[in-house]
Amino acid sequence: MNNFKIVLLTLTLGVFLVNCSDDDDTAPITLEAGTLSGGPFAFTVDGTPDMVSGISLVGFNGQGDNQTFVITDDAKNILGLPPTIDALEGVNFDDAGTGSCYIYFLTYNQGLTGLEQGSNLDNIAGDFDLTNFLTVVRNPNAMASFTVTVENVFQHKDYFANGTIDGLIMPGQHRTISFNAGRGHYLSFATMFVQSNDLFFAPDENGLRLYDDNGNALTGDVTDMIDLWDAGTEVNEEPGVGANQAPRQSDANTGTTENGTVELIANVNDGYTYPAVNETIKVYLDHDGGTQFTLTLKNISATSSLPTPLAPGTWVINTGAQQPLFTEGEAASLGLEGIAEDGNNSISNETLSAATGLVSPFAPGAFALNSKIFTTGETATDAFEALAEDGNASGYDNAFTTPVGAAGPAPIFPGESYSFEVSAEAGDYLSLATMLVQSNDWVVGANGIALFEGSDPISGDITAHFRIYDSGTEVDEYPGAGHYQAPRQAGADTGMEEGGLVTLETRLTQNVPEVKDMIRITISAN
């Protein structure tokens, strides 16, 4: 009510009365203000201008030296005196706050007292007439308290990436596969030595370590890290002769079951002689730059004691603590048995694919009411750069930093969540962003989510509003492998500067799931 201001203008409506009689006993002229119609009016005080319209005046007899409209509160305190209909319809009643206003029309003669803003209508004195009043009700805006939950819904995956080695590799031929991997990653693969019952080429059970302690990539001829292994699933026959070996068997899996364990062929005393690994296969690893590698398998057995094809196999990117394809001294999996006995990589590929994919934490994030966290098409602010590159939300007034049930600030991993409360009123909107940690400068975010539908607070899953945005501040690396991504970088803000703009990220690599498969954001009105 105190903020409600109307300039008092006491302009006449141009109605003048002339007394042409010299007689002193002429009867006084009666003032008739008439009747106001229109409304009633009801507005919500929500920051949006609210004006009356459609008001009409009937029965005014045109008498009186001056006329004006009068606006009062519900105690008849005068708030404003708009002189005309146009002035009245220009009054913004939203500025008056909540409560009720009354609108009157007043005609009066000279000498009226008490007609001024701040006085009470009952205290005016003089010759006047007042109409009925029209009511303007100013209702409070709808308000609610909300709980917002940000949940990491990544599914647990054992491995970072996987694929297949397809087709027979005949003597003199080679096959290449390309992949991305980061520090701490290993490459495991297996391909069948076809002139055998269940032998395969592979590195040891943990795979090839792709980076040394200084972050240098493994490159060059790595054949000396490859061994010939016995899967222990089928009794060995003389290599290149056995009737149950792939080139001669009538069908898959026809040999005698061995029920053994995976062992180096050098440690298997089966009485047979096998060609040396480096006479049968050559394995090369090239670092293509960034986090990309190319593995080349070359069949050089044409000049060996036993020329042989190499059969289809599988590969997988794992950590050094994992044995994704086999464990020495333990029974082979069905997937490895299929590769080692028959060059059938389908079971292994299906199993590995189900256990492979990008998994990422989400970092502490920021939220805002009625303002943006970031602006696309513009250079990132310092606050947004820190949020997007390093999960540092300290540049924002409102942040969520501590996972539910945790003692202090931390990222959230699959199955964990952040939760915070915010109070808002109808017309307010929410903006929110949280860093995808396995990236250089990406956030999952949204600006301007309306918190009310009309006067009803929203509730439910709002993930569909969210997208991946690139802050444009650091050059992107392959998600989950980059050296300058938070899990692997030496410190904050260490990647190569990009000098770009904040953009919606549309060039996502294939290993990045849909937003709904990474994060779930829900809201509930309390």
Find, among 309, 355, 317, 358, the residue nearest to 333 by Cα. 355
Q: How far apart are CA 203 and CA 323, in angstroms?
A: 11
Residue 189 falls inside a structural domain: yes
**Percentage of the chain modeled with pLDDT above 70:** 95
Using the predicted structure, report yes or no on whether residue 2 has a pLDDT greater than 50: no
The b/e string for 347-371 (b: 16+ C-beta within 10 A; e otherwise) is bbbebbeebbbbbbbbbbbbbbeee
Say if residue 382 is in the same domain as residue 475: yes
The pLDDT, as a whole number, for residue 388 is: 98
Confidence at residue 26, expressed as pLDDT on a 0 to 100 scale: 56
Q: Where a domain ends, among 354, 383, 414?
A: 354
**Tally of domains in the chain:** 3
> Is there a domain that residue 8 lies in?
no
Domain with 179 in it: 161-354
Q: Report the relative pairing of strands 128-130 and 99-108 from DSSP bridges.
A: antiparallel
At 99, the pLDDT band (50, 70, 90 cuts) reads very high
Mean pLDDT of the chain: 93
> What three-state secondary structure class fits 407?
coil
Residues 146 and 524: their CA atoms lie apart, in Å, by 5
Residues 289, 431 within the same domain: no
**Is 521 part of a structural domain of the chain?**
yes
Mean pLDDT computed over 71-97: 94
What pLDDT sits at residue 5?
Answer: 37
Instruction: Please give the share of the chain, as a percent, with pLDDT higher than 90.
Output: 87
The tens digit of pLDDT for each residue in 122-155 reads: 999 999 999 999 999 999 989 999 999 999 999 9
Band of the pLDDT at 35, cuts 50, 70, 90?
very high
Average pLDDT over residues 333-360: 97
pLDDT value of position 27: 59
What is residue 362's predicted lDDT score, i.e. its pLDDT?
Answer: 98
Q: Are residues 504 and 405 in the same domain?
A: yes
Torsion, Cα of 50, 56, 62, 67 (10° steps)? -10
Q: State mean pLDDT over 169-190.
A: 98
Residue 458 lies in a domain: yes
Shared domain for 67 and 166, answered yes or no, is no
Same domain, 364 and 478: yes
My answer on whether 343 and 365 are in the same domain is no
User: What stretch of H or E contains 445?
Assistant: strand 442-450
On whether both 407 and 300 belong to a single domain, the answer is no
Q: How far apart are CA 42 and CA 93, in angstroms?
A: 10
What is d(CA 383, CA 406) in angstroms, rounded to the nearest whole number?
Answer: 25
Instruction: Tell whether 441 is covered by a domain.
Output: yes
Where does the pLDDT of residue 251 fall: very low under 50, low under 70, confident under 90, or very high at 90 and above? confident
Task: Answer with the one of 95, 111, 140 that is the final residue of a domain.
Answer: 140
Q: Is the pLDDT confidence value at 206 over 50? A: yes
The answer to the question of residue 24 being in a domain is no
**pLDDT tens by residue, 396-455:** 999 999 999 999 999 999 999 999 999 999 999 999 999 999 999 999 999 999 999 988
Same domain? For 86 and 201 the reply is no
495 within domain boundaries: yes
Q: Do 207 and 59 sit in the same domain of this protein?
A: no
- Of 140, 175, 190, the residue at which a domain comes to its end is 140
Where residue 492 falls among pLDDT bands split at 50, 70, 90? confident
Is the domain of 301 the same as that of 400? no
370 and 346, same structural domain?
A: no
255 against 59, higher pLDDT: 59
pLDDT in tens, 301-346: 999 999 999 999 999 999 999 999 999 999 999 999 999 999 999 9
The rounded distance, in Å, linking the Cα atoms of 523 and 526 is: 10
Say if residues 120 and 128 touch (Cβ distance below 8 Å): no
Looking at residue 57, its pLDDT comes to: 96
Residue 371 lies in a domain: yes
Closest CA to 292 of 403, 442, 181, 144: 181
CB distance 277 to 226 below 8 Å: yes
Distance CA(78)–CA(63), nearest Å, equals: 23
Q: How confident is the model at residue 252 (pLDDT cuts 50, 70, 90)?
A: confident
Any idea what the CATH number is for the domain that residue 431 is in?
Answer: 2.60.40
Residues 120 and 169 in one domain: no
